[in-house]
Amino acid sequence: MTHLIVNADDFGLTAGVNRAIAELHADRVLTSTTLMARAAATEEAIEIARASPSLGVGCHVVLVDGTSVLPSSRDIPHLAHPRTGQFSVGVGRFLADLYGRQSSGIERQIEAEAKAQIEFLLDQGVCLTHIDTHKHTHMFPRVLRPVLRAARAAGIRTVRNPFEPAWAVRATASAKWARIAEVSVLRWMEPLWRKVIAAEGFTTTDGTIAVVGTGVLNADMVRSLLQQLPSGTWELVTHPGYNDADLARVRTRLRESREVEREALSAIKEFPEIDLVSFRHLSMPASSPTSI
């Protein structure tokens, strides 16, 4: 059987992003989202999450392009700016810091910050189904291990598989060639990644689709991906929203595309044979009902 988790990232980024996620879930095409612990509209997102028990909610652990929960100068001086609490701008800068000569102790700091973000959401009454990371930074071992430790300490044992299979990349017509090359090259890390999560006792999906489609995902791409979706449990990663004044104040390359993705997800209704689930499905007994 084919199960699909339709997940929206960046819950809490803006009120317009929150609105889109709530609307898509009410329309029964979006089953899951991941919530940022420190963003402009996090408080509103928490209220929506608490009022929507059928919506699976994970922690979107932010370690790049965002603001820390912990005091940066005291607890995470190598992870965030000591005065502003801002993380590195861009994954390239983050990786340079992560693997640079001055990175001693950074894994401990990543674990502490991830733990603080997870605990903040739990303390606000959000029941977390899983974890993932902003910009998929947990595909790198030095991030994966401390993030898993933080999640396990909170009783969470489910994590996003950040790797997109080759068939899904081929099915995503019109994706940018640079994005395709990046996703394809990074796939070599998947065997080690799976080995680590198995050793740590975590579960995950068979893969994530539409990663190369980030920023260009439209209805035709959704149809192409779902027409070729094999059996198993997959995650469709999306970034819906409204391109409003709040979003204009956020540093993001995803502006006009959020409206396109929001409208594109209605194409999921054309595939009633696909079982729409959340990350709760991965921890349910095989005999339990899965549809949401």
Q: Which fold has domain 2-283?
A: TIM Barrel (3.20.20)
| Per-residue pLDDT at 17 | 96
Dist. CA 91–CA 222, nearest whole Å: 27
| Per-residue pLDDT at 74 | 85
All structural domains of the chain with their residue ranges: 2-283
| Per-residue pLDDT at 288 | 46
* Closest CA relative to residue 21, chosen from 5, 41, 45: 45
| Per-residue pLDDT at 290 | 47
pTM of the model: 0.93
DSSP H or E stretch at residue 151? helix 141-153
| Per-residue pLDDT at 83 | 85
| Per-residue pLDDT at 142 | 94
Specify the DSSP class assigned to residue 164. P
Tell me if 82 sits within 8 A of 72, measured CB to CB: yes
Tell me if 76 sits within 8 A of 57, measured CB to CB: no
Any residues with CB less than 8 A from the CB of 127 and at least 6 apart, and which? 57
| Per-residue pLDDT at 291 | 47
| Per-residue pLDDT at 249 | 82
Dist. CA 124–CA 69, nearest whole Å: 14
Dist. CA 82–CA 79, nearest whole Å: 9
* Closest CA relative to residue 233, chosen from 283, 200, 277: 277
pLDDT in tens for each of the 292 residues of the chain?
A: 999 999 999 999 999 999 999 999 999 999 999 999 999 999 999 999 999 999 999 999 999 999 999 998 789 988 988 888 999 888 998 998 888 856 678 999 999 999 999 999 999 999 999 999 999 999 999 999 999 999 999 999 999 999 999 999 999 878 888 889 999 999 999 999 999 999 999 999 999 999 999 989 999 999 999 999 999 999 999 999 998 888 878 777 767 789 999 999 999 999 999 999 999 999 765 444 444 5
| Residue 283: both structure tokens together | 């921890």
